[in-house]
Amino acid sequence: MKILLYSGAFLPTTGGVQANVSELARGLAGWQRVHPGAEAIEVTLVTRTCERMEEDEGQAFKIVRCPGFWKFIRLLREADIVHLAGPALMPLALALALRKRVILEHHGFQAACPNGLMFFEPTQAPCPGHFMAKSYSKCVECNKANDGLLKSLKSLALAHVRRRLAARATFNITPTDWLATILELPRMKTVYHGIPLGRATASDGASPETFGFQGRLVTTKGLGLLLAAAEDLQRTKYEFQLKVIGDGPEGEGLKSQATGLDGRVKFLGHVPDERMEEALSDVATMVMPSLGGEVFGLVAAENMLRGKLVIVSDIGALREVVGDTGLVFRAGDAEGLAACMRQVLENPSLAASKGSAARDRAMKVFSRDSMIQGHLALYRKALLR
């Protein structure tokens, strides 16, 4: 079976999509070695990320960076399955034109939202689904402030094209059942993202008074909301610490917002994977206060595997990932988030008990083997169509 796996962005550029694509490629390429007797799988990963890594040559799969047009056409023709990480217009259109079996995996809302975030900029709140409700003037209003009228109209037009093409895919994969209810595309299947079970280990020295945040420092990730909740806790005399891992364009403004918290907030910036366990060793509870843009919640799943309690906003994907092992508050509600954090501070055993249940759930539901098996099952079905 020859699989062409396309991802517009790939390592060394970091991100959840890149991490998932890397794990999928490695798992597929090594499947026969781990499962003797299984069919041989040849994986070619194609990306628009041109920067190479030393590890490129040592992979069990082939990496083709920034191929020219005709080379890309040749690679498409040679593949039995074309797996696209997101509805990138040109690769999707070319694969369909060549009548290839296309597996389209959705890592965002691009097939149901012009900016792909499901976040309504004018109100700084989750979008109720204006594009799917055909309230196109709302979509233009949302994007006009940042992109201008012409670019906003263009993104709206392209969203229609992208959705029509996505509807022609052999299968559309979503990482949560919730995302499938938002996209409403034909032939949808849910395959949860997989995490290498050896990547994260439970830490014994975590403090119930230490909370963590991990993510890009942008509005949709909700760190400003978390800082507002922290201010609430400070006013009511609770003792706590907050570690912030990540960087982004709003970093300086968020650091300024945190100056009134008397040193309770520590900004660690970008932390490499090899140092993540150390950075989070004293954190008992991770907070994901996202306002929008979440389709799975890799940070939640990874920290569940670390045995940490995860507090999430009531976005469908995050609620689905944590199940009954986390605490949930209404998205955008700083008081509700503060109330969840108080539960942890007032009941020191809560983080440990919920964290243990979270680790069990992550190991059972989000294993890499389950992810690979789910994809292979769809590939085999696609080859029979």
Domain residue limits, the chain:
2-194+367-383, 207-365
Taking the C-alpha atoms of residue 263 and residue 254, their distance in angstroms, rounded to an integer, is 14
Q: What pLDDT score does 336 carry?
A: 98
Sign of CA dihedral 40, 24, 179, 141: negative
Taking the C-alpha atoms of residue 103 and residue 374, their distance in angstroms, rounded to an integer, is 12
State percent of the chain over pLDDT 90.
88
Answer whether 2-194+367-383 and 207-365 agree in fold: yes
Taking the C-alpha atoms of residue 166 and residue 191, their distance in angstroms, rounded to an integer, is 17
Tally of helices (H runs) and strands (E runs) in the chain: 14, 15
Classify domain 2-194+367-383 by CATH architecture.
3-Layer(aba) Sandwich (3.40)
Residue linked to tokens 């706590």: 240
Taking the C-alpha atoms of residue 81 and residue 63, their distance in angstroms, rounded to an integer, is 16
| Top-confidence residue, 379 or 34 | 379
State percent of the chain over pLDDT 70.
98
Mean pLDDT, to the nearest integer, of 89-108?
97
Q: What pLDDT score does 210 carry?
A: 97
Mean pLDDT, to the nearest integer, of 288-310?
94
At 224, the pLDDT band (50, 70, 90 cuts) reads very high
Q: What pLDDT score does 385 carry?
A: 86
Q: What pLDDT score does 154 carry?
A: 96
Residues 256-273 pLDDT 10s: 999 999 899 999 999 998
At 205, the pLDDT band (50, 70, 90 cuts) reads confident
At 203, the pLDDT band (50, 70, 90 cuts) reads low
The CATH number of 207-365 is which of 3.40.50.1980, 3.30.70.380, 3.40.920.10, 3.40.50.2000?
A: 3.40.50.2000
Residue 42, pLDDT above cutoff 60: yes
DSSP string, 337-359: HHHHHHHHHH-THHHHHHHHHHH
Q: What pLDDT score does 362 carry?
A: 96
Q: What pLDDT score does 202 carry?
A: 62
Residue 199, pLDDT above cutoff 60: no
Q: What pLDDT score does 196 carry?
A: 81
Q: What pLDDT score does 37 carry?
A: 87
Query: Are residues 214 and 242 in contact, defined by beta-carbon separation less than 8 angstroms?
Result: no
Taking the C-alpha atoms of residue 364 and residue 89, their distance in angstroms, rounded to an integer, is 35
Q: What pLDDT score does 145 carry?
A: 83
Q: Within 10 Å of residue 306's Cβ, how many Cβ atoms?
A: 24
Residues 123-175 pLDDT 10s: 988 899 999 999 999 999 999 988 999 999 999 999 999 999 999 999 999 99
Residue linked to tokens 């009511």: 236
3-state secondary structure the chain: CEEEEEECCCCCCCCHHHHHHHHHHHHHHCHHHHCCCCCCCEEEEEECCCCCCHHHHHCCCEEEECCCHHHHHHHHHHCCEEEEECCCHHHHHHHHHCCCEEEEECCCCCCCCCCCCCEECCCCEECCCCCCCCCHHHHHHHHHHHHHHHHHHHHHHHHHHHHHHHCCCCEEEECCHHHHHHHCCCCEEECCCCECCCCCCCCCCCEEEEEEEECCCCHHHCHHHHHHHHHHHHHCCCCCEEEEECCCCCHHHHHHHHHHHCCCEEEEECCCHHHHHHHCCCEEEEEECCCCCCCCCHHHHHHHHCCCEEEEECCHHHHHHHHHHCEEECCCCHHHHHHHHHHHHHCCHHHHHHHHHHHHHHHHHCEHHHHHHHHHHHHHHHHCC
Q: What pLDDT score does 356 carry?
A: 95
Tell how far CA 76 is from the center of its chain: 26
Mean pLDDT, to the nearest integer, of 347-353?
95
Burial of 245 per CB tally in 10 Å (0-12, 13-18, 19+): buried
